[in-house]
């Protein structure tokens, strides 16, 4: 006999009980005996049907409770992925801000070097005119290998008289 679910099993039970009642009615010739047998059997069928429905409800409840933690874990993992994505975006923005800051500081350093050279030039010319030994020129500033450089060229400055000075 193949495996039957609760409703199919209940249907088979009803067919069997109907058959028993019909057989009892034909043998006895009295209709009261089958009715007396039929009423308790129908009550049994109703109770059996109620048991099957309760069992299904209980199975649904148990399945829901068993799978609820799994759903919660998936929700947490999804939220973690979103948090990681937002953190990555924030780190990218911070990295861009640091690159911008590094470029600004490099530009400030170059401007400072040029300002110092411009300020020192009159002193060096006066030393040369007086016959004093001139100070040796400073080494060229180091360039970082990882950053963007302007190819060793600094922006042209205008001297106070309007000529380009370097």
For 40-60, the pLDDT digits (tens) are 777 887 888 888 889 999 999
b (16+ CB within 10 A) / e for 118-143: eeeeeeeeeeeeeeeeeeeeeeeeee
Mean pLDDT of 25-48: 71
Tokens of 34: 């089958």
In this prediction, residue 66 has a pLDDT band, given cuts at 50, 70 and 90, of very high
pLDDT greater at residue 134 or residue 112: 112
pLDDT at 67 over 60: yes
Mean pLDDT of 90-105: 97
Q: By percentage, how much of the chain surpasses pLDDT 70?
A: 70
Query: Which of the residue ranges 9-13, 58-62, 131-135, 153-157 has the most confident prediction, judged by mean pLDDT?
Result: 58-62
Phi-psi region of 148 (alpha: psi -120 to 50; beta: other; left: phi over 0): beta
Q: What is residue 29's predicted lDDT score, i.e. its pLDDT?
A: 59
């Amino acid at each position: 006999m193949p495996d039957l679910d609760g409703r199919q099993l209940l249907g088979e039970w009803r067919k069997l009980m109907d058959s028993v009642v019909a057989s009892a009615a034909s043998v006895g010739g009295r209709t009261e005996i089958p009715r007396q047998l039929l009423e308790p059997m129908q009550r049994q069928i109703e109770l059996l049907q109620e048991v099957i429905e309760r069992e299904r409800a209980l199975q649904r409840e148990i399945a829901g409770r068993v799978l609820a933690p799994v759903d919660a874990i998936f929700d947490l993992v999804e939220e973690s992925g979103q948090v990681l994505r937002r953190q990555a975006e924030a780190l990218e923005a911070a990295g861009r801000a640091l690159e911008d800051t590094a470029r600004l500081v490099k530009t400030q350093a170059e401007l400072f070097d040029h300002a110092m050279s411009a300020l020192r030039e009159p002193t060096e010319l006066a030393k040369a005119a007086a016959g004093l030994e001139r100070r040796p020129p400073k080494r060229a500033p180091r360039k970082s290998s990882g950053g963007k450089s302007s190819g060793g060229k600094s922006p042209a400055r205008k001297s106070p008289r309007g000529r380009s000075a370097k």
